[in-house]
Amino acid sequence: MLKQPTTIYKDFDLSFTKNPNTKDIARRVDVQAVKQSLKSLMLTQYYEKPFKPQYGSPIRGLLFEPVDIATGTSLATEIKRAIVNFEPRVVVEDVEVYPNQNENAFSCKIFFYVRGVRDLQELGIVLERLR
């Protein structure tokens, strides 16, 4: 019988917190590493990553459009497109985007499967413009 690997995906924690035992930068593993990668991908604009001008998405630019259902639909489409094109570890099931006009933001829920993990995962994030 083959033993399943305990850790499939690894990455360092982008908050740069210190691991109390090793005094090194903390790590993210498996689903948490993929979720961190998805957040990073959604907030990366085109031409922001050196030598990969097509990497990223226009999501930050869409946050300056009216906070309505039409913009929410565009955001959902762009989120799906970015994940399909740049995150091979993920299979997207659904993306839900809800406009919140009172907060001038969009609440997003991404439902996905991580390759090598059986359970459906959910990533919730609030997208709001910074200026």
Domains of the chain by range and CATH?
A: 24-128 (3.10.450.40)
Contact 63, 129 (CB under 8 A): yes
What's the pLDDT tens digit per position in 80-126? Answer: 999 999 999 999 999 999 999 999 999 999 999 998 888 999 999 99
Contact 128, 107 (CB under 8 A): no
Res. 13 pLDDT band, cuts 50 70 90: low
What's the pLDDT tens digit per position in 32-75? Answer: 888 988 998 998 999 988 998 899 999 999 999 999 999 999 99
